[in-house]
């Protein structure tokens, strides 16, 4: 959630920054107004409560002394106040609910070094790494290769579930597992501690990291339960610290986890319908870090480096992209995407996304640390290292041979 006090204090600035992310100024104006109204009502409300409390105390004392009549007089007085309190309470609750609902739907403020832009076409390439492979034969797409080699069974996925689910067979299944192991080990070498988490989480958890309330339609929900399938391990990993005050954050918290991820992919019908680029279920190894505010920039670079290096070890060509304001995710203040070369599409495709959310998630989830006597909000960061399914795609396509087979990258051989 954005800082409402900051919004109140520095409205013009915040509004202009959020405008680049598609937030209407009138929505922010309304939030500011609600916030100010709320505080006003609250002040009056609390004054009445204070009055009630002190009078009630008096009644107690009078009763003890046996002065029943005097007590009765005060009682009628308190009764009048009670009516007022009830009234104000109702008003306050209504306004708080409205404010909360509105404020939770406002995305994070982009960092000032994030390029301003409308959509993905305005993202800025930072660098390209690795040689794009040249083939002296007609390259096949991963879905062609997958069917020919009996690695990917699209029909079986549809039979078991529905479209955008796929069954991996033989070498592909083993390669998937090898990649998970490889990434976890790789991340561990960067100091990220491996964690294993639930794949189902409750609505409070989803709210803290920003999936709820706004993106309900993208999530799979369990019927009759307050449980959702996670869209990324970022959700459980970050929420490990929800409502916590971390005593010592001199060393950042660094975690990594493998989980499957579940996404409805609402609004992406017709996109990437072939192959396994866009699935309802996919594997991902995630990085999450929690830092002091002053340490988050450094951690961000470290996470980009970690994910990039994994691609280099696999010998895959990729590029780094700084997302523009219009393409930035809801919770992110800044994001760098890694895109891997996909020969059959003759272009780079997203394989990792590293984001700094600053204190946006921390405020929602009340994740704080002790800074001397004070409790301060932490910064939270997350990034994929890496998306496993898309790495499988990249390996299949980049490592294909003329006779329609696929070589296994050297670093993976010990896992297979």
Partner RNA sequence: GGAGAGAUGGCUGAGUGGUCGAAAGCGGCGGCCUUGAAAGCCGUUGAACUCGCAAGGGUUCCCAGGGUUCGAAUCCCUGUCUCUCCGCCA
State which H helix or E strand residue 297 sits in. Answer: helix 296-313
Nearer to RNA, 3 or 176 (CB): 3
Among 306, 360, 250, 400, which residue's Cα sits nearest to residue 1?
Answer: 360
Dist. CA 277–CA 259, nearest whole Å: 17
Q: Is residue 54 at the binding interface for RNA, with CB under 7 A as the rule?
A: yes
Min dist CB 28 to RNA, Å, is 17
Strand, helix or coil at 121? helix
Q: Is residue 364 at the binding interface for RNA, with CB under 7 A as the rule?
A: no
Binding mask 216-255 for RNA (x = CB under 7 A): -----------------------------x----------
Instruction: Say whether 278 is catalytic.
Output: yes
Q: Which of 9, 57, 94, 405 binds RNA (CB under 7 A)?
A: 57
Strands 193-194 and 368-371: unpaired
Q: Is residue 13 at the binding interface for RNA, with CB under 7 A as the rule?
A: no
Min dist CB 21 to RNA, Å, is 24
Q: Is residue 56 at the binding interface for RNA, with CB under 7 A as the rule?
A: yes
Q: Is residue 9 at the binding interface for RNA, with CB under 7 A as the rule?
A: no
Strand, helix or coil at 336? strand
For 198, other C-beta atoms within 10 Å of its C-beta total 12
Dist. CA 41–CA 47, nearest whole Å: 10
- Total of chain residues touching RNA, rule CB under 7 A: 26
Select which of 128, 177, 278, 319 is catalytic: 278
The token pair at 217 is 């339609």
Which residues 66-95 are close enough to bind RNA by CB under 7 A? Answer: 75, 78-79, 82
Q: Is residue 41 at the binding interface for RNA, with CB under 7 A as the rule?
A: no
Min dist CB 179 to RNA, Å, is 24
DSSP state letters, 211-265: -TTTTGGGS-B-TTSS-EE-SSTHHHHHHTTTT-EES--SSPEEEEEEEEEE---
Select which of 144, 164, 234, 263 is catalytic: 263
Instruction: Say whether 164 is catalytic.
Output: no
Strands 281-291 and 253-262: antiparallel
Instruction: Say whether 363 is catalytic.
Output: no
Side-chain-side CA neighbours of 289 within 13 Å: the count stands at: 30
Instruction: Say whether 174 is catalytic.
Output: no
Among 300, 407, 366, 343, which residue's Cα sits nearest to residue 139?
Answer: 343
Q: Is residue 156 at the binding interface for RNA, with CB under 7 A as the rule?
A: no
Q: Is residue 375 at the binding interface for RNA, with CB under 7 A as the rule?
A: yes
Instruction: Say whether 350 is catalytic.
Output: yes
DSSP state letters, 324-335: PGGG--SS-SEE
Q: Is residue 200 at the binding interface for RNA, with CB under 7 A as the rule?
A: no
Q: Which of 9, 13, 50, 404 binds RNA (CB under 7 A)?
A: 50
Q: Is residue 368 at the binding interface for RNA, with CB under 7 A as the rule?
A: yes
Stretch of 52-60, 159-167, 169-177, 318-326 lying at the interface with RNA (CB under 7 A): 52-60
Dist. CA 79–CA 75, nearest whole Å: 6
Residues assigned a catalytic role: 263, 278, 350, 353, 390
Residues that bind RNA (CB under 7 A): 5, 39, 42-43, 46-47, 49-50, 52-57, 59-60, 63-64, 75, 78-79, 82, 245, 366, 368, 375
């Amino acid at each position: 959630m954005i800082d409402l006090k900051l919004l109140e204090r520095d409205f013009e600035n915040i509004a202009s920054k959020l405008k680049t992310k598609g937030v209407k100024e009138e929505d922010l104006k309304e939030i500011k107004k609600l916030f100010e109204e709320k505080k006003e009502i609250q002040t009056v409300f609390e004054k009445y409560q204070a009055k009630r409390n002190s009078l009630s105390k008096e009644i107690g004392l009078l009763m003890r002394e046996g002065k029943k009549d005097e007590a009765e007089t005060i009682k009628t007085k308190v009764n009048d106040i009670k009516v007022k309190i009830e009234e104000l309470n109702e008003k306050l609750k209504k306004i708080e609910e409205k404010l909360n609902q509105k404020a939770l739907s406002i995305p994070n403020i982009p960092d000032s070094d994030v390029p301003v832009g409308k959509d993905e076409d305005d993202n800025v390439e930072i660098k390209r790494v690795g040689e794009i492979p040249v083939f002296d034969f007609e390259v096949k797409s991963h879905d062609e290769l997958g069917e020919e080699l009996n690695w990917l069974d699209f029909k079986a996925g549809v039979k078991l579930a529905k479209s955008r689910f796929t069954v991996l067979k033989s070498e592909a299944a083993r390669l998937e597992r090898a990649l998970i192991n490889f990434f976890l080990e790789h991340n561990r070498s960067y100091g990220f501690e491996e964690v294993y988490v639930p794949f189902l989480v409750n609505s409070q958890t989803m709210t803290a990291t920003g999936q709820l309330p706004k993106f309900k339609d993208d999530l799979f929900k369990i019927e009759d339960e307050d449980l959702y399938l996670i869209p990324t391990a970022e959700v459980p990993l970050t929420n490990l610290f929800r409502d916590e005050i971390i005593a010592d954050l001199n060393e950042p918290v660094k975690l990594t986890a493998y989980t499957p991820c579940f996404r409805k992919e609402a609004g992406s019908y017709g996109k990437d319908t072939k192959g396994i680029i866009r699935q309802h279920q996919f594997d991902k190894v995630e990085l999450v870090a929690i830092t002091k505010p002053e340490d988050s920039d450094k951690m961000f670079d470290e996470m980009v480096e970690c994910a990039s290096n994994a691609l280099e070890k696999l010998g895959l060509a990729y590029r780094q992209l700084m997302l523009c304001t219009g393409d930035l995710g809801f919770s992110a203040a800044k994001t760098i995407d890694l895109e891997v070369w996909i020969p059959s599409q003759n272009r780079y495709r997203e394989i990792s996304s590293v984001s700094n959310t600053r204190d946006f998630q921390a405020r929602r989830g009340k994740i704080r640390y002790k800074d001397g006597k004070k409790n301060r909000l932490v910064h939270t960061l997350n990034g994929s290292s890496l998306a496993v399914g898309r790495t499988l795609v990249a390996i299949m396509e980049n490592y294909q041979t003329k006779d329609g087979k696929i070589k296994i990258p050297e670093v993976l051989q010990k896992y297979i």
